[in-house]
Amino acid sequence: MERSLALLLRLIGTLAIIHIVQAQSQQGFISLDCGLPANEQSPYKETDFGLQFSSDAIYIQSGKTGRVQPNLEGRLLKPYTTVRYFPEGTRNCYNIPVEKGRNHLIRGWFIYGNYDGFDLKPKFDLYLGPNLWATVDLQAEVNGTAEEILHIPTSNSLQICLVKTGETIPMISALEIRPMGNDSYLTKSGSLHLFFRVYLTKSEKYLRYPKDVYDRQWIAYFQKEWTQISTTSDVHNINDYDPPKDALATAAIPTNASEPLTIKWTNSDNPNAQYYLYRHFSEIQDLQTNETREFNMLWNGEVMSTDPVIPKKLDISTIYSQSPRICDEGKCIFQLIRTNKSTLPPILNAFEAFTVIQFPQSETNETEVIAIRNIEANYGLSRINWQGDPCVPQQFRWDALNCSNTDPSTPPRITSLNLSSSGLTGNIAAAIQNLTQLEKLDLSNNNLTGEVPEFLGNIKSLLFINLSGNDLNGTIPQSLQRKGGLKLFRQGNPRLFPSESPTISTGKSFPVVIVASVASAAILIVVLVLVLVLRKKKPSTVQVVHPPPSRPTMNVPYANSPEPSIEMKKRRFTYAEVMKMTNNFERVVGEGGFGVVCHGTVNGSEQVAVKLLSQSSTQGYKEFKAEVDLLLRVHHTNLVSLVGYCDEGDHLALIYEFVPNGDLRQHLSGKGGKPIVNWATRLRISAEAALGLEYLHIGCTPPIVHRDVKTTNILLDEQFKAKLADFGLSRSFPVGGETHVSTVVAGTPGYLDPEYYQTSRLGEKSDVYSFGIVLLEMITNQPVIDRNRRKSHITQWVGSELNGGDITKIMDPKLNGDYDSRSAWRALELAMSCADPTSARRPTMSHVVIELKECLVSENSRRNMSRGMDSLSSPEVSMVFDSGMIPRAR
């Protein structure tokens, strides 16, 4: 009977304990007993394996400590009896020094042990830096679990973060980090997540340090169809991998010599996983002169190498994957089959299998991370969310910061630092000069002293400095005064002057003091007059003005304003002009809850769509004004542009550019004679719509959430370019505020983010959820909600179909199978991750854009290679995306 190897990963503290007397070097090992008080026997030697453990307290600044229930302590090794748990904050991170560029084994232990007495087993996410590593689910693994990965850090500091995703509290028992050999476990890309590591023996022994010099953990594994062989001789085990000699001293052969040695497993959680395999062989039998052992390795029935394997006598041979391998619908079969010339059956001593985890998001520029941590230390700041990577993921970005993060493959840079009213004392921190991409710096309303440093003028990108409300002295440096376009706020610093210092008395006679004082006053008056004159002109140097409001807002409440802005006046049409441009509303091209949409022309040639707000419309004046305000400020090729508006008494209308090919929903259903778009065109449309959303989320200041993303709001122009429409429900938020803010729940049923619906807290990830539903529509052409379906919501229906592993039952039958299955699977996985019920687990729109572009590349490669390509009525797919420099909304 097949035995599931996946179960072998469930390592818990109740594993059989073996006593070791041998001692080896632990150089480079970091072994943390999480939750152990720093003053309680730290460090100490764990007696069973001889490992040196210490408290985790110096590596983390948050969390509380606990201990498993007394009845469990005797069953666990000492390092796993304490826990550190995190009732406060969303992301709590360890900051551990490592060797940059070297492969490391990183292992976390999680044993709940009812430490809090509530018997509420937690479920949470585990991150390495800005990237998701694993989900720890102790509701499923009731006895505890371990997560292990082989990872090459890109900096000298490793961030291991526990992220709260629900109501339960993240916790950890132990952290173990081991530097590996430089030439071992290499991949083409990504890191290696341990799936299983076994040595083949009937023994129950569990091997780790010091038997294994890297403290890998080897589980004993055997099947009834096998026969064990062993040796008492010393097996030479020195190669790049150094498996334990004890793991090589035993091996398995098939009992029936003519049968293959087979190892099977099923990965239903990740059927598309990529695997790297490491197979360790050693000939431990004494062969007679007429005996031969050689065999081939097969993966899912296919021979893996042209050369057969011939194990070396009492010497290690490790064969590993040069490239990752995949399984058939998550069902993996590895086999060893003897060749025709072999007289002996195949042999296997030990086996390791890893799945590939891609970590696409780069960490923040290392120099800037060091700088911001020095600033934190300089001012003694203690903020619960100043943990982990400062900039990414975006939903965990440190408060007080803004960052550039348009390309995940490029390290983000810090562009804004706001430490206003933070209780800062002392001088302006020198580390600020290392934030070389800084555009805005706000140090107002603190107790800073000393002079304004010269280096601020050398930060080329810096355009805004607020130093008001401190006790700075001296003069503004020449480097700042010469800096064109800079806005400097300095009020509330009575000893800080904008130019050369006034004359100061140094023990002169009384008349001289009076003259000096008068001269000083005269200079100040001249300076003030010059400032007032200069303020009337366009500033070419530093502009000294009064402090602005804390944050600008985008959604100006025009309904309460007596006079619209100049921009609004310029775009304003009278009702008579609207009637003329539509020829008395002659041609109706659409209709919705707001009213009707009519075709029109402006200036005799420019085609427009006129959206008329009816008296019975569900969209009110507030939404109308919001859409006008927003569309006058945003400009992107994948957003419908506003030509103008009408606000005259009861007559409200929005005049858009005309988008002639209707909406995406029509082209999925074929309604109204619209052509069915092919798979490549669907991928391009989805990527372009994603670019529009990405611009709203990270290209606008403040960020904007659309709130009503759906297929009927994705319009197609004459070239089938996607344009996102209908911004009546959109909202913008102050930069630097919380990721989510309270708001009245609004949106379309089926597309509405369930987390937003339950909590009334809105964020960019709410759009990501809706976009995931749009992707599922494009993939399946199924209704979002169908009460006649066994699973009424599209996510439930797709989830149930995924269990079968047959993508053809999920894909739109109108595509007639004309699609690249790899791009289809990838798009489907992306859609389901976007539609994850937990917002923290959804990708950002920037990540979505990258994934969709790569799907499109895969599909276009297939189409270009196919000679019998059908000529479809929809336009050719273009790989040109308008994603370059776009003006930011203000």
Q: Is the domain of 339 the same as that of 405?
A: no
* pLDDT for position 514: 38
Q: Is the domain of 774 the same as that of 847?
A: yes
Statement: residue 774 has pLDDT above 90: yes
Q: What stretches of 424-484 adopt beta strand conformation (E)? A: 425-426, 440-442, 447-448, 464-466, 473-475
Q: Which amino acid is at 838?
A: T
Q: Give kind and range of the element (H or E) at residue 337.
A: strand 331-338
* pLDDT for position 383: 85
* pLDDT for position 263: 96
Contacts of 7 (CB under 8 A, 6+ apart): none
* pLDDT for position 619: 59
- The residue that leads in pLDDT, 378 or 3, is 378
* pLDDT for position 733: 56
Q: Is the domain of 833 the same as that of 701?
A: yes
Strands 495-497 and 473-475 turn out to be parallel
- The residue that leads in pLDDT, 74 or 152, is 152
- The residue that leads in pLDDT, 874 or 403, is 403
CATH of the domain at 346: 2.60.120
Using CA atoms, how far residue 282 sits from 146, 180, 336, in Å, is: 29, 22, 14
Q: Is the domain of 413 the same as that of 285?
A: no
Statement: residue 529 has pLDDT above 50: no
Contacts of 373 (CB under 8 A, 6+ apart): none
Is the residue at 459 inside a domain?
A: yes
Average pLDDT, the chain: 83
Here the tokens at position 12 are 């818990």
Is the residue at 645 inside a domain?
A: yes
Statement: residue 220 has pLDDT above 70: yes
Mean pLDDT, rounded, for 574-592? 88
Q: Which amino acid is at 701?
A: T
Q: Is the domain of 811 the same as that of 668?
A: yes
Tell me if residue 708 is catalytic.
yes
Least confident stretch, 36-45, 443-452, 541-550: 541-550
**Other C-beta atoms lying within 10 Å of the C-beta of residue 493:** 18
Catalytic residue among 708, 753, 820, 836: 708
The Cα–Cα gap between 841 and 78 comes to 33
Burial of 110 (0-12, 13-18, 19+ CB in 10 A): buried
CATH of the domain at 160: 2.60.120.430
* pLDDT for position 42: 77
* Cα 836 → chain centroid: 14
* pLDDT for position 162: 98
803 pLDDT band (50/70/90 cuts)?
confident
Is the residue at 544 inside a domain?
A: no
User: Cis omega (within 30 of 0) on the bond before 179?
Assistant: no
Which letter does DSSP use for residue 139 in this model? T
- Is residue 581 within 8 Å of 601, Cβ to Cβ? yes
* pLDDT for position 761: 81
For residue 329, is it left (φ>0), alpha (ψ between -120 and 50) or beta? left
21 pLDDT band (50/70/90 cuts)?
very low
591 pLDDT band (50/70/90 cuts)?
confident
Least confident stretch, 367-381, 418-432, 659-673, 868-882: 868-882
* pLDDT for position 670: 78
The Cα–Cα gap between 263 and 252 comes to 11
Is the residue at 766 inside a domain?
A: yes
Q: Is the domain of 27 the same as that of 129?
A: yes
Contacts of 703 (CB under 8 A, 6+ apart): 696, 697, 732, 733, 735, 764
Here the tokens at position 142 are 């009731």
Mean pLDDT, rounded, for 130-141? 93
Of 351-360, 381-390, 574-583, give the range with the top mean pLDDT: 351-360
- Is residue 393 within 8 Å of 399, Cβ to Cβ? no
In sequence order, the β-bridge partners of residue 179 are: 104
Is the residue at 524 inside a domain?
A: no
Here the tokens at position 672 are 């109204």
Least confident stretch, 154-163, 366-375, 666-675, 739-748: 739-748
Statement: residue 120 has pLDDT above 50: yes
Mean pLDDT, rounded, for 118-146? 93
Domain of residue 688 covers 664-865
Q: Among residues 206, 235, 97, which one has the least CA distance to residue 153?
A: 97
CATH of the domain at 599: 3.30.200.20
Mean pLDDT, rounded, for 828-840? 93
Is the residue at 829 inside a domain?
A: yes
Q: Is 78 annotated as a binding residue?
A: no
Here the tokens at position 228 are 């064990």
- Is residue 817 within 8 Å of 260, Cβ to Cβ? no
* pLDDT for position 820: 86
Statement: residue 410 has pLDDT above 60: yes
Mean pLDDT, rounded, for 635-660? 86
What is the DSSP code string of 199-248? Answer: EE-SS---B-TTTSTT---BEEE--TTEEEEE-SSPPB--SSS---HHHH
Mean pLDDT, rounded, for 247-261? 96
Q: How many domains does the chain have?
A: 5
Q: Give kind and range of the element (H or E) at residue 200.
A: strand 191-200
Q: Which of 657, 683, 699 is the last residue of a domain?
A: 657
Q: Among residues 663, 568, 653, 642, which one has the least CA distance to residue 611?
A: 653
* pLDDT for position 568: 56
439 pLDDT band (50/70/90 cuts)?
very high
Mean pLDDT, rounded, for 120-131? 96
Burial of 786 (0-12, 13-18, 19+ CB in 10 A): middle
The Cα–Cα gap between 433 and 420 comes to 18
Q: Which amino acid is at 173?
A: S
Q: Is the domain of 672 the same as that of 638?
A: no
Of 1-15, 152-166, 718-732, give the range with the top mean pLDDT: 152-166
- Is residue 456 within 8 Å of 448, Cβ to Cβ? no
Q: Which of 657, 685, 704 is the last residue of a domain?
A: 657
Q: Is the domain of 332 the same as that of 399?
A: no
80-117 pLDDT, tens digit each: 999 999 999 999 999 999 999 999 999 999 999 999 99
Burial of 373 (0-12, 13-18, 19+ CB in 10 A): middle
Q: Is the domain of 790 the same as that of 697?
A: yes
Using CA atoms, how far residue 137 sits from 12, 109, 160, in Å, is: 14, 12, 17
For 197-233, b/e burial (b = at least 16 CB within 10 A) is bbbbbeeeeebbbbbbbbbbbbbbbbbeebeebebee
Statement: residue 612 has pLDDT above 90: no
Q: Is the domain of 78 the same as that of 146?
A: yes
Mean pLDDT, rounded, for 443-456? 94
Of 589-603, 639-653, 682-696, give the range with the top mean pLDDT: 682-696
Predicted model pTM = 0.57
Which single residue is written with the structure tokens 């595509």?
815
341 pLDDT band (50/70/90 cuts)?
very high
7 pLDDT band (50/70/90 cuts)?
very low
* pLDDT for position 281: 98
The Cα–Cα gap between 109 and 51 comes to 15
Here the tokens at position 760 are 């009334």
Mean pLDDT, rounded, for 116-143? 93
SS3 597: strand
CATH of the domain at 479: 3.80.10.10
Q: Among residues 397, 370, 405, 402, which one has the least CA distance to residue 91?
A: 397
Q: Is the domain of 393 the same as that of 280?
A: no
Q: What percent of the chain has pLDDT over 70?
A: 82
Q: Is the domain of 150 the same as that of 235?
A: no
CATH of the domain at 711: 1.10.510.10
Residues in the chain: 890
31-79 pLDDT, tens digit each: 999 999 887 777 899 988 899 999 999 999 899 999 999 988 888 999 9
593 pLDDT band (50/70/90 cuts)?
low
Of 343-352, 541-550, 651-660, 691-700, give the range with the top mean pLDDT: 343-352
What is the DSSP code string of 624-670? Answer: HHHHHHHHTT---TTBPPEEEEEEETTEEEEEEE--TT-BHHHHHHT
- Is residue 62 within 8 Å of 387, Cβ to Cβ? yes
Least confident stretch, 233-242, 257-266, 380-389: 380-389
SS3 767: helix
Q: Which of 618, 636, 657 is the last residue of a domain?
A: 657
727-772 pLDDT, tens digit each: 766 666 544 444 444 456 778 889 999 888 888 888 889 999 999 9
* pLDDT for position 25: 67
Q: Which amino acid is at 129?
A: G
Is the residue at 265 inside a domain?
A: yes
Is the residue at 171 inside a domain?
A: yes
